[in-house]
Amino acid sequence: MPANLPPQYYELEREFKSERDPREKLRLAQELLRMMPKHKGTDKLQADMKAKISKYRKELEGGSKSSGAKQAKSVDHVEKEGAGQIVLIGPPNSGKSSLLDSLTNAQPLVADYPYSTREPLPGMMTFETVQLQLVDTPPISDDLYENYMSNLVRNADLVLLVCDLSDENLLGHLEVVIRLLEEKRIILKAEFEDQPEDPRLMIKKTILCAHKTHDDESGERKQRLAERFPGFEMVETSIIDDESLEKLKRALFDGLSIIRVYTKHVGKEPELINPVILPIGGTVEDAAIDIHKDFGKKLKFAKIWGEGKFDGQRVNRDYELTDCDIIEFHI
């Protein structure tokens, strides 16, 4: 049976064969596997590619434990924690590390010289009753693009593009960031979009952080930024302005397109902690399954409290929830 591989496969295969960086080679191998039609004609091809992927992963991990090889620290993947992962990217000295320092419990190296961040550093940010994970990353410039950056951006739930309003060449430096990401087939967009027909491309929803806003007294650079990125949400921030940081927290939560749902026991008051996190459009059944899949199967109905609802309103399992709803499950 013929493999019937798409034309893009052969183009990507040429890149894969010429690539020397093991992290990028692993990413390309994973894309090739995703691109393969799944039928008997590609069984051997799939098996060969899966073996290569396994090989590259072991190389990046520093070999198996049984071999006694030293385990290498993986910097191209940060395990997700909290309600969502947001990766901070930007040119040198844009202020990413100072934001991480101000918003989370992490302790990045904050310096007034470029390239002080050499590896990704996660920190947990509290927004009301949830924790969001922010990941600081090395700067992106013509002089530096860490190959592992592509995987970090691809795996994140949301991108925060940090823009330095004190930089006279603000747009020029941002164009470098955009260009280098596009060369890795990562496209920054204002909203979530369906993935394009070309499986090599990755669309990432992005929010603009217009940082060091007090250094742009005339507002000229903010205006240029808005004109260059029409439709993108832009949040002005300063580490000496707590209100601006709170606005950024809200924008990041909203940007994840998720809702918080709280649960209560029958006859008891709700504890507004540890909410169930669902995508916008999530239902009563989704919330029940999130707690336990068997719980979802046994669910008969639920009662709900929330803004614009009758207190204790009885709803079915397909009822669509909104942020901060309170549910009482009945099984």
Task: Give the residue with greater pLDDT, 2 vs 116.
Answer: 2
What is the helix (H) or strand (E) element at residue 113, kind and residue range?
Answer: none
Specify the pLDDT at position 256: 97
Percentage above 90 pLDDT, the chain:
55
195/40: higher pLDDT: 40
- 241 versus 6: the higher-pLDDT residue is 241
Whether 297 shows a pLDDT value over 90: the answer reads no
Which of 3-17, 50-64, 169-183 ranks highest by mean pLDDT?
Answer: 169-183
Judging by beta carbons within 10 Å of its beta carbon (0-12, 13-18, 19+), is residue 128 exposed, middle or buried?
A: exposed
What CATH architecture applies to the domain 85-255? 3-Layer(aba) Sandwich (3.40)
Q: What is the pLDDT of residues 181-203, one digit of tens each?
A: 999 989 999 998 776 777 678 89
Check whether 235 has a pLDDT greater than 90: yes
Q: How far apart are CA 64 and CA 98, in angstroms?
A: 37
Report residue 43's pLDDT band, with 50, 70 and 90 as the boundaries. confident
* Least confident segment among 31-40, 219-228, 255-264: 31-40
**325 forms bridges with which residues in the sheet?**
261
Q: What is the pLDDT of residue 110?
A: 61
| 67 confidence band (pLDDT: 50, 70, 90) | very low
Predicted pLDDT at 71: 41
Instruction: Give residue 185's Cα distance to chain centre.
Output: 16
- CATH number of the 258-330 domain: 3.10.20.30
Q: Quote the pLDDT of residue 272.
A: 87
Taking alpha carbons only, the member of 164, 162, 173 closest to residue 248 is 162
With both helix axes pointing from N to C terminus, report the angle between 22-35 and 7-18 in degrees, rounded to the nearest 10.
160
Task: Please say if the pLDDT value at position 164 is more than 80.
Answer: yes
Among 75-84, 90-99, 154-163, which is the least confidently predicted range? 75-84
Look at 114 and 19; give whichever has higher pLDDT.
Answer: 19
| Domain locations in the chain as residue ranges | 7-67, 85-255, 258-330
36 contacts 48 by C-beta, under 8 angstroms: no
User: pLDDT band at 117, cuts 50/70/90?
Assistant: low
Mean pLDDT calculated for residue range 285-305: 88
Closest to 210 (Cα-Cα) out of 186, 192, 237, 188: 237
Residue 215's pLDDT band (cuts 50, 70, 90): very high
DSSP alpha helix (H) spans, 42-169: 43-61, 96-103, 149-155
What pLDDT, on the 0 to 100 scale, is given for residue 96?
A: 93
pLDDT of residue 86: 97
pLDDT of residue 233: 97
Is pLDDT larger for residue 126 or for residue 27? 126
Residue 198 token pair: 């070309």
- For 50, residues 6+ apart whose C-beta sits below 8 A from its C-beta are 33
The reported pTM is 0.81
